[in-house]
Chains A and B, each alone.
Chain A
Amino acid sequence: MSDGRALLEVEGLRRVFDVSKPWLNRVIEGHRQQFLHAVDDVSFAIPAGRTFALVGESGSGKSTIARIIVGLIAPSAGTIRFDGADIARIKNPSEMRQIRRRFQMIFQDPYASLNPRMRVADIIAEPIRAFGLLGDTAAVQHRVGELLALVRLDPRDGLKYPHEFSGGQRQRVAIARALAGNPQFLVCDEPTSALDVSVQAQILNLMRDLQEQFGLTYLFISHNLAVVRHMASEVGVLYLGRLVEVATTHELFSAPRHPYTRMLLDAVPDLAMTGRVRTPVQGEIPSPIDRPQGCHFHPRCDVAKDRCRTEAPAARSIGAATVRCHTPLGA
């Protein structure tokens, strides 16, 4: 399934939001311009057929990266290459449509991601019609029935409206819509965080089955480490818009290199009841508007040195992992 070739490559991605007050208020009240650094120099590559997970706390920039990749937000800097083609350089609309068809997105909140005034069949048919994949109505209807069966819903459910479904069923509808254009790459922005725990596993297993069946590549965004461990082949840990550690799932969970990764892992509840003492997460993520100097993590880090307070660490490789830390663990 995976041939090692990167389907999606992100390099030096950066996004700065101007959150200043209006010009007139700044002049009168004497405020300076304020910028929110949501994504700061993020690079990663996802091989075809694999799942790359981005984890991090709220405000770490996970969702911004997802939205930049699918084109909802323009990046401030950096390049995104999909199957070797730089997305930002595609000017031809028909070529852009071809690229868009090949990557789709699954959203976090299945209660908001389906238009409440449209029938489910029309919601799923929309990408098919938009990309002009099938001409006649009968073929579109047949395909919609197929997609509903694929996500294990009854094809007759297509006549219903979204409010007639449960959260898990709605997320299945959203997955069916995402698959309607036969994509290769799916951006999944916390696809199960709005669902009941009992339903989460069903949706995750469905996504894994679909990945196997169609050789899909996932960018999987989550704050739930147990989910990430279940889904991902590689994990990137985000902290205040910077990717502090990238490693294979096995490597990351068995030997975390960055103090932040270790802190996150230590805080996970111990369901196996091994008697391990949990260390709660220390402190809170600072504001992305007013970020700490040097390494962003130093105010919460227990191994921080003077150098960490002044100098931002560059990415370096330790074993198979890439870490941004002056004092990595196990080095």
Chain B
Amino acid sequence: MTETSAAPAPVRTRPSLRERIAAAWDSDIAYSFRHSPVTIVAAVIVLLLLFGAIFGPWIAPQNPFDPGSLNLMEGKTAPLTPNMFTGKTFLLGTDDQGRDVFSTILYGSRVSLFVGFAAVAFSMVLGVTLGLIAGYRGGWLDSVIMRTADIQLTFESLLVALMIFGFTRTLIPPGSQNELAVPVLILAIGLAEWPQYARTVRGVTMVERNKEYVQAARVIGLHPAIIMMRHVLPNVLGPVLVIATLGLALAIIAEATLSFLGVGVPPTQPSLGTLIRVGQEYIVSGEWWILLFPAVTLLALALAVNLLGDWLRDVLNPKLR
């Protein structure tokens, strides 16, 4: 059969970078993005906060968690008002320890975003894997996985996260609790959210597995794991992306809630939630900026991520087009 036709092999000219950018600019998603001002604003906010979080240590006027750089005399300075002792002004004021609120927000959103992304990645990997297996294999394995997910979904996910957090902490020796607080938090929030992914992925997988391209792959004799990874997974990623974006906002808020309750990150590496908890102690005594600015940052972050998720859901939903 090989000697039958001396056809030229396909020329593997991948499109150039400029062509690819042009194609991306013309795509439906880019078009919808360009014509949605709300989404553009949301994306700008998310990018600014991401930029601030990533480059925080270089942007921040001070390292608020290095005791050497703090001056107690500068405590509780109002925003844009010169300190009565040193004469220094702070953009967003300082807290009781003399920490620059702008710097704490940069450092705090770093922790919040890291925990949020890591928790989403963890629950996504777990949920997508279990959902793929449940949907593709079916049978008793499907029942076991999905009933577990159903049972977990009957509890409020924050409650589940609290339970997992509390349970895991008892397993950790007291000496290393502070270092392991962030991983434990990621584990707790991630474990609380996996059923969302599993349910969606299972549903889409059950549709895809009966399509003929999956059957064609089975006729070739590919291993089920390869079929799931190479054929089914790319076709279920659309809805997963939407849940992951919306889940990021949820995870950030969950982390903030846990930290606000005092069970999240340790005081040595505070997140936005911790800052809000600390700040609310001063709201009655008039130092409103300690609470307000971290809270507004958290609100803007969660809202912007949510708006992006909503937009993504609409764009990827063929029924709405």
Contacts and interface: CB of A to CB of B under 8 A. Distances in A.
Chain A contact residues: helix, strand, loop or mixed: helix
B5 interface: yes
Nearest to A71: B219
Contact of B7 (A114, A131, A146): A146
B213 A114 contact: yes
Contacts of A145: 7-10
B213 A100 contact: no
Contacts of A100: 219-221
Contact of A158 (B10, B216, B221): B10
Contacts of B12: 141, 159
B1 A159 contact: no
Contacts of B26: none
Contacts of B147: none
Nearest to A126: B220
A158 B11 CA distance: 9
Interface in B131-152: none
A158 to B, nearest CB: 4
Interface string B7-44: 11111110000000000000000000000000000000
A138 B9 contact: yes
B219 A113 contact: no
B153 interface: no
A218 interface: no
A107 B7 contact: no
A225 interface: no
Interface residues of B, number: 25
Contact of A130 (B1, B5, B221): B221
B212 A109 contact: yes
Contact of B9 (A107, A141, A174): A141
A167 to B, nearest CB: 13
Given A97-B221, A155-B9, A156-B11, A116 B235 contact: yes
A148 B7 contact: yes
Nearest to B14: A159
Contact of A126 (B10, B211, B217): B217
Interface residues of A, number: 46
A70 interface: yes
Given A104-B219, A121-B10, A156-B11, A115 B213 contact: yes
Contacts, number: 95
A96 B220 CA distance: 11
B221 A143 contact: no
Interface string A181-220: 1100000000000000000000000000000011000000
Given A115-B235, A141-B12, A155-B10, A150 B4 contact: yes
Question: Which of A115, A116, A130, A158 has the largest count of B CB atoms less than 10 A from its CB?
Answer: A115
A100 B13 CA distance: 33
A118 B222 CA distance: 16
Contacts of A277: none
Contacts of B9: 138, 141-142, 144-146, 155
A193 B168 CA distance: 59
Interface in A99-149: 100, 104-105, 107-109, 112-118, 121, 126-127, 130-131, 138, 141-146, 148-149
Contacts of A258: none
A117 B217 CA distance: 14
B154 interface: no
A138 B7 CA distance: 14
A70 B211 contact: no
A24 interface: no
Given A72-B218, A96-B221, A117-B234, A156 B10 contact: yes
Contact of A150 (B5, B8, B11, B222): B5
Given A71-B219, A126-B222, A159-B13, 8 more contacts: A100-B220, A107-B216, A108-B212, A127-B220, A138-B9, A144-B9, A144-B10, A181-B220
Interface of A: 67, 70-72, 96-97, 100, 104-105, 107-109, 112-118, 121, 126-127, 130-131, 138, 141-146, 148-150, 155-159, 174, 177, 179, 181-182, 213-214
12 contacts: A100-B219, A105-B215, A112-B213, A115-B213, A116-B213, A143-B2, A144-B10, A149-B7, A155-B8, A159-B10, A174-B216, A177-B216
